Amino acid sequence: MKQETRKEIMFTGFGGQGVITAGYITGQAAAVYDDKESVLTQVYGPEARGSACYSGVVVDEEEIDYLYLLSPQVMVVMSQDAYEKFLPKLQEGGVVIVDSSLVEVDERVKKYRLYKVSATEIAEEMGARIIANVVMLGFVSRIWDAVSVEGMRESVKSRVPRKHLDLNIRAFEKGVELGEKALAKEC
């Protein structure tokens, strides 16, 4: 089965953290700014407020014939609940990016390639907890080759309120920088 061009990412956390917005921005980056094909699906139900929730993005070079996640290669985890609930869905050997300000990992994570980003702490230092997801987007765009940093940046710009644009871009660039460092460390 031809699967090599299909790429999947899952954003997980609790309702209100912008987990679905993060998925939307990623999907839009791929489809509109990078001109690939992408699909966003999301949890849709009462659990979307407050408890563990997720969004999934599929990116492909060609038409996507199955909307939902089959086997995500990358997972962003922004809450302990989400860690417990969703981690097993990650493809073996996949990349897990945890918000280390909120999530404690255990031995289960050893199956995966782990990155720790203290996104919520960074966001709080910048003055707005709510932009933790944007820090994550910066990081994702740097380490995941399915979307470009430029595409993701444009997508963030188009989605955030104009008056908070600077703050969001700073959060995004911080994430890119952390991604850069993480990659450099591996070399």
Enumerate binding residues for other proteins (CB under 8 A).
Answer: 1-2, 24, 27-28, 31-32, 35, 37-42, 44-46, 64-68, 70
Residue 129, burial from CB neighbour count under 10 angstroms (0-12, 13-18, 19+): middle
> How near is the Cβ of 21 to other proteins at its closest, in Å?
12
Distances (CA, A) of 123 to 31, 60, 132, 136, 175: 27, 31, 5, 10, 10
> How near is the Cβ of 97 to other proteins at its closest, in Å?
22
Q: Which is nearer to other proteins, 31 or 117 (CB)?
A: 31
Q: Which is nearer to other proteins, 55 or 120 (CB)?
A: 55
Q: Which is nearer to other proteins, 120 or 133 (CB)?
A: 133
Looking at the DSSP bridge assignments, the partners of residue 54 are: 12
> How near is the Cβ of 61 to other proteins at its closest, in Å?
13
Q: Which is nearer to other proteins, 42 or 100 (CB)?
A: 42
